[in-house]
A = this chain, B = another copy of it.
Amino acid sequence: MKTLILNKSAVKDLLQMPDVIKVVEEAFGAFGEGKANMPPKSYLVVERGDFRAMPAVIPGAAGIKWVNVHPQNPSRGLPTIMAVIVYSDPETGYPLAIMDATDITAYRTGATAAIASKYLARSDPRTLGIIGAGRQAYTQLLAHLELFNFEQIRVFDRTQSSSERLVNSFPGYPLKECSLEEAAASDIVCTQTPSRVPVLKNELVLKGTHINALGADAEGKEELEPAILRRAVVVVDDLRQASGAGEINVPISKGLYTTDEVYANLAEIVTGKKPGRTDRDAVTVFDSTGLAIEDIATARLIYEKARQGGAYISIDLV
């Protein structure tokens, strides 16, 4: 047996958003049917950041993502977040591949939000609002462009150079820079800021809007005014993770929101156990914290593609 080593450029070459959307949706389906499993993410806090261990098994695949968040890295010329997946055969435990998972993380997060939009947004969304134009905004856009045809895509970032760069990266698509207010007044709104105070106020959110809240991924992070959650139909990726580290974590800790108010998790929606949007005028919120099943589903896709051929390093690792 051999272990494939797939580095950043190999993974990037093999990542295609339509495939990622497909396998991530299948993973949520399997999870909803009890055919996938993952223990809670575990955090290892170090002086300058933290590491997260994210193991999961889905049908035919198992593995773990080991991902760090080190906010001071950019000053050293390194990305804040780097991730590696050990991809294993669930039948024997054999490590079939080691792969970079930095782009996998970005792609699967975009794919998951677009899947949530498919079930929770109005069926004919015309406008997409992007709040926060950093790295994660690119894959949000890539994924949503696969599933929807927007008349206008509105981009807001506090740093103008960031929104400019994003707009220029999608020539041929109807992107434009705009104010926070205009971005918020869209059929689908994706928030991906590192904020710890709500950037999106309730009064800016029109009826019928679907919001993907992606920024909150650790205790103390918050992007939406809690009144939005109380008004909305809220769907989480995982209730335990969302309560501790997702968009709902701060409102819960302040007593402004309770887990009982959460309508469903995404797996229940994907498997049809609970309907998605039923009321054209409802505000819906998807609280995304990122699940290990999304990573392992995407890793499986990459591994299967790599096995079909290519000049990859293959070694006797164990």
Binding site for B on A (CB under 8 A): 1, 5, 7-9, 37-40, 42-49, 51, 53, 55-57, 62-64, 66, 68-70, 73, 76, 78-79, 81-84, 86, 88, 90-95, 98, 100, 102, 313, 315-318
Contacts and interface: CB of A to CB of B under 8 A. Distances in A.
Contacts of A45: 37
Main secondary structure of the interface of A (DSSP, over half): strand
By CB atoms of chain B within 10 A, which of A9, A70, A76, A93 has the most? A93
Given A44-B38, A53-B55, A100-B317, A94 B82 contact: yes
Given A46-B62, A68-B92, 12 more contacts: A37-B45, A40-B42, A42-B55, A44-B56, A48-B90, A76-B92, A78-B92, A78-B94, A82-B93, A82-B94, A84-B317, A86-B86
A62 B48 contact: no
A116 B263 CA distance: 52
A128 to B, nearest CB: 30
A40 B37 CA distance: 18
22 contacts: A5-B313, A8-B318, A39-B42, A39-B43, A39-B53, A40-B42, A44-B55, A44-B57, A44-B62, A46-B90, A47-B90, A47-B91, A48-B90, A48-B91, A48-B92, A55-B66, A66-B86, A66-B88, A78-B94, A98-B317, A100-B318, A313-B315
Contacts of A48: 90-92
A296 to B, nearest CB: 10
Nearest to A292: B44
A55 B217 CA distance: 20
Nearest to A7: B317
Contacts of A73: 92-93
A128 B28 CA distance: 54
Nearest to A81: B93
Contacts of A1: 78
Contacts of A43: 39
A64 B53 contact: yes
A64 B316 CA distance: 20
A49 B93 contact: yes
Contacts of A98: 5, 84, 98, 317
